[in-house]
Amino acid sequence: MAKTIRDIYGETLVKYGTTDERIVVLDADVSNSTKSAIFAKAVPERFFNLGIAEANMAGIGAGLAAGGKIPFINTFAVFLTSLGLLAARTYGSYSNWNMKYVGAYGGLSNGFDGPTHHSIEDLAVFRTLPNFQVFVASDARQTAWLVKNAIDHHGPMYIRLTRNAIPDIYDDNATFKTGKGNIVRQGDDVTIIACGLMVKPALDAAETLATQGVSAQVVDMFCIKPLDKELILDCAKKTKLVVTVEEHSIIGGLGGAVAEVMATGGSGVPQVFIGLNDTHAETGTLNALFEKYGLTADDIVAKTLKGLGK
């Protein structure tokens, strides 16, 4: 069975954290869920469980950053954008301190805890904060790179992780760069831009579209901020339609970011937004939630064909 993204995250923290004494890890009493517990077991002297006190945890993380440490601040994504937001805005964004916010159980992956625990606004919140970089993990190899990149980059950062295992998108030779999306499938008729858990359904949709005579290019936009504006405008120039797919509200997330680029770049190409349509999500399995809110590969196919007028 494939390892979950959160397991890869915890193991990669240990890989670098055992020898880099700048790395400290904080959690809000959910370390078994976020898998920061893997680090806690390996490096207990640099792990801090702050209990169910997310705002305090973020504030302590800020203090550690001010002292030259690299704090990885962990809890469910929804609590970072709410209870942890003041420290993110004041110390991460305004003061430009070296804080790494890691949102576990992003999107709808905390399905059985329901609307209070879904994180469908986190990308919108964090990408509005000056100085913050924003990433969404799309597979295991990319997750390992994101941890190393967070260590190497000095400045505030938000990384969204999912609860689940994700099928591999990349091989061992894959490369990633801040501010650059990756074309994971070439196509000429339509561009599907996705991130995180939605990249695999986008690729599956492209396979189905090919059987219907539609050539779909798929882009993994794992870096939401800074955004790859050049790639977006090139895709808009090359294809007749841009489709954005995200496990997030269609307001302010990946789709909104892409729309801003296309509008200011004068692309003149229509865009289809696939995501949650200004609603909170219900409780249920991830598959059931994807079906209810139109996030399956079949939904991507149907909405893309409609966008093309087919």
CATH code (residue 153):
3.40.50.970
List of long-range contacts for 19-25, beta carbons under 8 Å, 24+ apart:
20/70, 20/151, 21/46, 22/68, 22/69, 22/70, 23/69, 23/70, 23/72, 23/151, 24/48, 24/64, 24/69, 24/70, 24/71, 24/72, 25/71, 25/72, 25/74
CA distance 208 to 70: 44
pLDDT of residue 239: 96
Strand partners, 100: 72, 157
Q: Please identify which of the residues 11, 21, 54, 230 carries the catalytic annotation.
A: 54
On whether residue 174 sits in a domain, the answer given is: no
> Which CATH number goes with the domain that contains 234?
3.40.50.920
Amino acid letter, 18: T
Residue 196 sits in the same domain as residue 267: yes
Asked if 152 and 191 sit in the same domain, the reply is: no
Domain that holds residue 140: 5-160
Predicted confidence (pLDDT) per residue in 19-59, tens digit: 999 999 999 999 999 999 999 999 999 999 999 999 999 99
The tens digit of pLDDT for each residue in 221-251 reads: 999 999 999 999 999 999 999 999 999 999 9
What is the residue whose two structure tokens read 């705002």?
A: 55
Residue 1 has pLDDT above 80, yes or no: no
Phi, psi of 123 (to 5 degrees): -65, -40
Residue with tokens 């200011």: 264
Amino acid 204 reads: D
Nearest-angstrom CA–CA distance, 308 and 78: 35
Residue 121 annotated as catalytic: no
Rounded Cα distance between 309 and 286, Å, is: 30
pLDDT given for residue 255 in this prediction: 98
Query: Which one of 160, 190, 218 terminates a domain?
Result: 160
Domain identity same for 206 and 109:
no
Average pLDDT over residues 174-182: 97
In 3D, which of 306, 142, 155, 120 has the Cα closest to residue 226?
A: 155
Q: Return mean pLDDT, the chain.
A: 96
Other beta carbons less than 10 A from residue 203's beta carbon: 20
Note whether 115 and 260 are same-domain residues. Answer: no
Q: Is residue 24 domain-shared with residue 54, that is, in the same domain?
A: yes
Are 213 and 245 in a shared domain? yes
**Alpha carbon distance, N-terminus to C-terminus of the chain:** 39
- Based on the domain organization, do 143 and 186 belong to the same domain? no
pLDDT in tens, 102-129: 999 999 999 889 899 999 999 999 999 9
Has residue 219 been placed in a domain?
A: yes
Residue 166 counted as domain residue: no
Q: Which pLDDT does position 293 carry in this prediction?
A: 97
Q: Is the pLDDT of residue 142 over 60?
A: yes
Which tens digit of pLDDT belongs to each residue from 68-100?
A: 999 999 999 999 999 999 999 999 999 999 999
Residue 205 covered by a domain: yes
Same-domain pairing of 203 and 87: no
Residue 91 has what pLDDT? 97
Domain count, the chain: 2
Asked whether residue 13 falls in the same domain as residue 109, the answer is: yes
| pLDDT classification of 206: cutoffs 50, 70, 90 | very high
